[in-house]
Structure 1
Amino acid sequence: MMLDTVAIKNKILELSKRRSIKHGLPFVLFIIGGSFGLREFTALRYQYRQTQQVKNGMENTGLPMKEKSEMSLEAIYKTIEELNTDNWENKRIERPWEEETPKT
């Protein structure tokens, strides 16, 4: 049985003129392809979440990082409570674009 190329070509042209094929098929492909793409991006997020590269890199350069318990809200609040926040003086620093300001 021999395929009739003209009949196949006419059938493809007829299908390509249909609105559901012309607009619906690209939409469906976009939705399905987008779901696969999002799956890959979210997999990257969770794959590298547990890495300790930053912490190890900082310690190798000589900059120690604080522990999570030292950086909690409660620990920071306790250090601020110990400071004397009632008596302070506003000190102005020199701006690079200003000339030397008189000391007051």
Structure 2
Amino acid sequence: MFNLKTLQRNKTVKYGVPMLLLVVGGSFGLREFAQIRYDAQKIRKRLDPSLAAKVNEQKQSVILEEEYEKLKEINLDEWKNIRGPRPWENSKEYQEQQHRNLSKTD
């Protein structure tokens, strides 16, 4: 029925099938390359056991009560909210103006 010459002249076979193979094959190839990327990230995230032990020690050494004591030492009653410069303002001039205002009140 069909011979090779008829299939070569058919536009669907000539252009459509290679395009379909490229799209489907590309998606499978892209999946494989992406999997390699994610596997490499997992390997990089693993820490050396001795380094991991040091990191865990540092995390456990911070105690909530110690942090609370540090905050109690800070005098928050004399705290003053100072606005930062706007993007259209010159930051040097604004800092000098704030410094002058602070020196007047002190």
TM-score (norm 2): 0.49
Taking CA–CA contacts closer than 8 Å with sequence separation of 6 or more, which of the two structures ends up with the larger relative contact order?
2
TM-score (norm 1): 0.50
